[in-house]
Amino acid sequence: MKITTGIDIIEVERIKKAINEMGNNFLNRIYTENEIEYSSKSEIMKYQHLAARFAAKEAVFKAVSGYIDGRSDALWKDIELINIEGGKPEINVEKLVKNINKTANVKLKDIDVSISHIKEYAVASVVAVFEEIDF
C-alpha cells in the first residue's frame, strides 16, 4: 500500500479575476457542470466555492502526480468535487481512475479530501491510498 498527499491554497480573488477576464472559457475548462451549478447556488459564496474546488483539484494532482501521465486540460474536469449528504466534500474518482498510468502497477483504492474557505482564501488537502497490483 502507498499513501500520498497533496495540499493547495489559493486566493479567492485569483479565481474571481480569471472568471471575470475569461468567463465561460475558464469555467468550462476547469469545472464540471455539477461544480459550476453547485457553486452558483450562493451568489455570496460563489467564488469561495469555486476557489475551494480549484484547490481540491490541485491537491489531487499533487497526490496522484506520480501515477498519471502529465496534466492535460481534460484532466481538470476528470477531478470532480461533489458534496454528499450533510455537505461533506468527496472526490468523484470514476473519471480520475482512467488516468492512472497502467504501467505504474497501482490501483487507486481510496481518496479523501478536506476543504475550507474564508473570504480571501480557499485550501484543500487530499490523501490518496494506492494498492500495489501484481501482474
| 10-37 per-position pLDDT tens digit | 999 999 999 999 989 999 999 999 999 9
Can you name the residues that pair with 126 across neighbouring β-strands? 6, 113
Please give the grid coordinates belonging to residue 131: 494498492
Q: Is the pLDDT of residue 45 over 90?
A: yes
**Between the CA of residue 129 and those of 88, 91, 119, what are the distances in Å?**
19, 13, 32
Residue in 116, 3, 110, 130 with CA at minimum distance from that of residue 53: 116
- Mean pLDDT value across the chain: 91
Distance CA 2, CA 98 (A): 18
Structural domains of the chain, count: 1
Residue 133 confidence (pLDDT) above 90 = no
pLDDT band at 86 (very low <50, low <70, confident <90, very high): confident
Q: Considering the entire predicted model, what is its pTM?
A: 0.91
Q: By residue range, what is the domain housing residue 20?
A: 2-132
Tell me how long the chain is: 135
- Sorting pLDDT into bands at 50, 70 and 90, what band is 70? low
Domain harbouring 89, CATH code: 3.90.470.20
Q: Give the pLDDT mean for 70-92.
A: 85
Nearest to 4 by CA among 56, 64, 80, 54: 64
- Cα distances (Å, whole numbers) of residue 118 to 15, 35, 67, 86, 89: 14, 18, 32, 20, 16
